[in-house]
Amino acid sequence: MPVTDLARPASPHPPPASAPPSLRRAAPALLGFAAVRALGLAVLAGWSAAAGSSAHTLLSARWDSLWYARVAGGGYGYEVALPNGDVHSNLAFFPLLPWLERAVSAVTGLSYGSAGLVVAWTASLAAAWGVFAVADLLWGRRAGVMAAVVWAALPVGIVQSMAYSESLFTALAAWSLYCALTGRWVAAGLLASAAGLTRPVGAAVVAAVWVAALLARRRGERSRRQFAGMLLAPLGAAGYVLWVGARTGDGVLGYLDVQAGWGNGFDGGWAFARFIGGKLASPAFAAGLGLIAGVLLVLWVYRLCLRQRQPAALLVYAGVVVALALCASGYFGSKPRLLLPAFPLVFPAAVALARWRTGRAAGVLAAVAAASAAYGAFWLNGSGPP
């Protein structure tokens, strides 16, 4: 299929919808999403049993999951000093997921890690619904179903089933963007604010809501609710960053100092480029080529989004997520996971699949889902996400 046939151009100004897509309308998307994620969990369980590990531990009590659980159980203030002098502080982790873990644990009696799985699995369904809603609004129901399933079957899709914040963030981002596209400005602002309490990349949602609102005002669509949505959008992220600054005594730069302790920062991609260069100059030459191919693939897909004429809010959101992921200076192995919330990137493939016969599309998606499930099980039982 030629690249030019990947997508029918979307209207840059989608008409307001009378209501979000009903559960009945979204049901095929949610069932497809759940089937892909169930396959991933089943393969992980079998692989982990064969490897002598625990799938539950890998999903809820390793890597960042432990840090979120510590925040839920003991609040902020925990840190680890490394031999090189770096300090890993739990202030790096935004508070919405730990708050929800604490609430679920209080109601159910589950451990904080298990409560995190409840939150993540529920949020992943909400995210799939939101991805469906945006694609359904722009290209129709069939494209929406394909979008939700493609998002579930991404190579690092297993993260959607972990006690991590990616699913929660994507749910808030997708519904905030849907509300912005349909003129629900206060809801868009509140959801953007909640996204800003979930991950640092919440700035991408704020930027998208502002762009959508400013373009609407330029078209003569002005209202107090629109202005209110713009004011609400940054409050979550700004509030947490300012609170961290006050707690550390470093003012507005406090959160950046916390991230620097983890080796994180934004250098325009220079550190990542040097990392790839090191791979190319070592016996891991093939890995370096793979990283270059991966970056080029992401940029090519974003170009397809531009050619698809996605609304500016989606392009801004995806662009900021991609830029922050690729241009961060640390944790290079995390970059595929950091790209997971950039759901508009799946829309070109989703719209193309929607044009195929059902059997052909289902066969391709089944193969991709199986590969994703195998990779997820291999990954978590190996290096896993840092």
Q: What is the pLDDT of residues 47-105, one digit of tens each?
A: 999 999 999 999 999 999 999 999 999 999 999 999 988 999 999 999 999 999 999 99
Rounded mean pLDDT of 279-302? Answer: 94
Residue 281: partners with Cβ closer than 8 Å, 6 or more residues away: none
Q: What is the pLDDT of residues 15-53, one digit of tens each?
A: 555 578 899 999 999 999 999 999 999 999 999 999 999
Q: Classify residue 184: in a domain, yes or no.
A: yes
Q: State the alpha helices, DSSP H only, in 182-234.
A: 185-196, 202-218, 224-232
Assigned token pair, 2: 């030629």
Rounded mean pLDDT of 245-269? Answer: 92
Assigned token pair, 164: 């991590």
Element (H, E) at 89: strand 87-89
Picking from 38, 54, 204, the residue whose alpha carbon sits closest to that of residue 125 is: 38
Q: What is the pLDDT of residues 318-339, one digit of tens each?
A: 999 999 999 988 888 899 999 9
Domain that holds residue 209: 3-11+23-380
Q: Return the residue matching tokens 């979204």.
A: 26
Domain count, the chain: 1
Q: Classify residue 16: in a domain, yes or no.
A: no
CB 349 within 8 A of CB 305: no
Q: Classify residue 18: in a domain, yes or no.
A: no
Stated pTM of the model: 0.95
Residue 83: partners with Cβ closer than 8 Å, 6 or more residues away: none
Q: Classify residue 17: in a domain, yes or no.
A: no
Q: Classify residue 125: in a domain, yes or no.
A: yes
- 3 vs 336, more confident: 336
Picking from 15, 317, 22, 12, the residue whose alpha carbon sits closest to that of residue 183 is: 15
Q: Classify residue 369: in a domain, yes or no.
A: yes
Q: Classify residue 385: in a domain, yes or no.
A: no
Share of the chain above pLDDT 90, in %: 85
